[in-house]
Structure 1
Amino acid sequence: MAETSAQEQTTATNNSPANVEVDTSFENDSSYGDELSSYTASLTSSVLDYRHENGRRYHGYHDGSYLLPNDETENDRLDMVHELCLQVLHRKLYLAPINKPQRVIDLATGTGIWAIDFADLHPQAEVIGCDLSPTQPSLVPPNVKFLVDDIESEWAYEKNPFDFIHARNLFVSIRDFPRLVQQCYRSVKPGGWVEFQDLDGYPHSEDGSLNGTALETYYNEVYGAFEKAGYETRPGPKLEQWLKDAGFVNVHAERFILPYGVWPKDKHLKKVGAWNQAQAEANGFEAGALAALTRHKQWTKEEVLILASQARADGRNRNIHMFFNFYVVYGQRPEN
């Protein structure tokens, strides 16, 4: 059964009427159990009431607040992105100097793979993964649990805060990053750490080889649609200041190069580039563009697929030296 969201819990607390009227239509414990089962089944149904559109499946809970699919094809790609991030960070799940954390949350956990790996690494920790979609596996370490929640809604974690809050690749997913960072500050223990790993979503090339390509057109059009819908597409370079503004101390920011393809000479960057290209070719171009362009720029499905195909073809051109900037930023809530 999907758990109710932090938003629902907070709303129930803050907006409770002075007197709650009792439903007297059920007169005994047995009928109450039937009513409870019916109600919880309805809640579960609403979470699983996915949107099906243009041949892809999208989340049902808070429908429309996240523009990428949640089907098996996308989940497989997200697991590839997890491996890509491990390659970038030399197999490290995080960089913050945490010490024996007891309570941890992974925001927008996706397939839950980061939370599962972290739980295996820290068996003493209670690890929570929250996401709009209950698409995580059921066979997980005993110290992991998953919640259905919208991290841009009001939280209810302040009275039971975390030692470590982790979030990765929230670009094109969040409308108000500063508010999210402030919520993290309120929900982490004094002395606890928060870490964001995120992109500047727009690609670059040092030699101008990206200019005028279908790849450049793809990202300009797709991110233009996300920005039209109010989403942040370039959080990476802004995270350091957002953490400082929220009150975090000992803030550390590090930038990593994320090539696309195997064009770099450096062996590590070549491997990173290969993983980046692999995840994008695993329907990544289509996944990133379909909902954004059809819902917010009125493109047809066929137009989106043509653009995605052209971008994919350009991505295989080793004369186009595209890369992204990937940022890891962590900070500590002051002890006092």
Structure 2
Amino acid sequence: MLRFSNAADDEDLDDADSAYGGDSLIGDDTKTLSSYITDYRYEFGRRYHSYRDGAYWGPNDDVANAQQDLAHHMYNLTLDGQLHLAPIANPQDILDLGTGTGIWAIDMADEYPSARVTGVDLSPIQPSFVPPNCIFEIDDITLPWTYPANQFDYIHIRELFGSIPDWDDFFRQCWHCLKPGGYIEVVEHSVQPVADDETMGPDHFYHEWGKVVVDSGRQFGKTFTIWEESASRLKNAGFVDVVERGFKWPMNGWSSDPKLHELGRWNQFRLHGGIEGFMLRLLTTTLHWSYETAQMHLAQMRASLRDFRTHAHLPGTVVYARKPLNPASPPHNY
């Protein structure tokens, strides 16, 4: 895995208190590489990462970052304020893959002050002032890793749907780098709305929306259906004691259940403001739609989100599993 130090602004590069790790493989070229990383790509007014350009479908501008933090709030509601469900005890080395704005890693560092929490992402969008036990690295987690074997007590993965070309290989790398007895946790949700009653007919736009997202992921080479595959893939990678818990995010506030109603209100707000960032690059670059056609599709989705007669939701899963205490050998060559 390529690893190097970086910071949100060039003037922070020599700051010893920076949140970014100090290990560098690039000698005196840190500022040159930093300039390259922050020389962002702009498409239709949205800003995207430049390092490993095109590897990720979402923008990294302020609007997209606010959406990530909103999703963090929704996961806190979903898990009743817990940052994880895996039964970890006194972890000392935690890895957050696809950390985004770093909000989960920062909260985790506060909750476990004796642990080192490392967040990894393609974009340097994390804050500079963080707990002293939290660091961030700019990297592509789909490349071969260089972390030592048996290093981490806990690996956290959230909303990496559409980001990993080979989940089986990815989970094998996680297995290799976890300590025996360490836990991995995968939190993902579906992109295809469903309903438990008859309010979402066969011609509802939500069906078209879900099909387009899944098809775009298939053509992009990175699936959006990992939420329903995590448990079986973790077992195949050699993990044991696999636990899967489901959750639902209503598409708006249609539910009379207080918790689901609150989640639905936030989900409607998140999707209404965030679907352009979620889909614009996939629609225009991967599926080769025109910008105008893409915007019409997004407008249909926003209209559907305002319909409280449709009792649709996005299903999701939290899956955690343990690396055996005495693994006979790695399940694959590492």
Same fold (TM over 0.5): yes
Identify which of 272, 280, 283 aligns with 2:271.
Answer: 280
Flag structure 1 segments of 5+ consecutive residues without an equivalent. 1-5, 10-34
State whether structure 2 residue 226 is matched by structure 1 residue 231.
Answer: no
Structure 2 counterpart of 1:264, from 255, 274, 288: 255
Higher Rg of the two aligned structures = 1
User: Which deviations, in whole Å up to 9, do the C-alpha atoms of 1:52-110 show, x marking residues without a partner?
Assistant: 00110011111001011010000001100000111111111100000010000100000
SS of match in other structure, 1:66: coil
Match of 1:78 in 2: 68
Identity between Structure 1 and Structure 2 (%): 39
Q: Aligned equivalents of 2:213 and 2:39: distance in 1?
A: 26
Which shows bigger deviation, 135-144 or 293-302?
293-302
Aligned to 2:329: none
TM-score for both structures, normalised by structure 1: 0.87
Q: How does 1:53-132 map to 2 (within 5 A)?
A: 53-132=43-122
SS in 2 for 1:198: strand
What corresponds to 2:330 in structure 1? Answer: none
Q: List aligned pairs for 1:113-192, cutoff 5 A.
A: 113-159=103-149, 161-192=151-182
Q: 1:295 to 1:44 in 2, by over 3 A?
A: same
Measured in 2, the distance between the counterparts of 1:176 and 1:321 equals 34
Alpha-carbon distance in 2 for matches of 1:239, 1:45: 37
Partners of 2:153 and 2:216 in 1: how far apart? Answer: 36
Instruction: For 1:160 and 1:48, locate their aligned partners in 2 and report how far apart those are by CA, in whole Å.
Output: 33
Deviation, 1:216, is: 2.6
Residue 42 of structure 1: aligned partner: 32
Q: Distance in 1 between matches of 2:210 and 2:229?
A: 19
Q: Show CA shifts across 1:255-288 (max 9, x none).
A: 1122111111111111111111111122x11111
What TM-score does the superposition give when structure 2 sets the normalisation length? 0.88
1:194-233 aligned at under 5 Å gives the runs: 194-210=184-200, 211-233=202-224
CA deviation vs aligned residue, 1:1-41 (integer Å, no higher than 9, x gap): xxxxx2369xxxxxxxxxxxxxxxxxxxxxxxxx954x222
Instruction: Answer 1 or 2: which has greater helix percent.
Output: 1
Note if contact 1:169-1:199 (Cα within 8 Å) is conserved in structure 2: yes
CA distance in 2, matches of 1:206, 1:160: 43
- Partners of 2:205 and 2:150 lie apart in 1 by 48
Q: Which runs of 5+ in 2 are unaligned?
A: 5-25, 327-334
Alignment length, in residue pairs? 304
Give me the whole-angstrom Cα distance separating, in 1, the residues matched to 2:209 and 2:232: 29
Q: Look up the equivalent residue of 1:276 and give its one-letter code.
A: N
2:318 to 320, 328, 333: 328
State how far apart, in whole Å, the 2-side matches of 1:189 and 1:8 are: 21
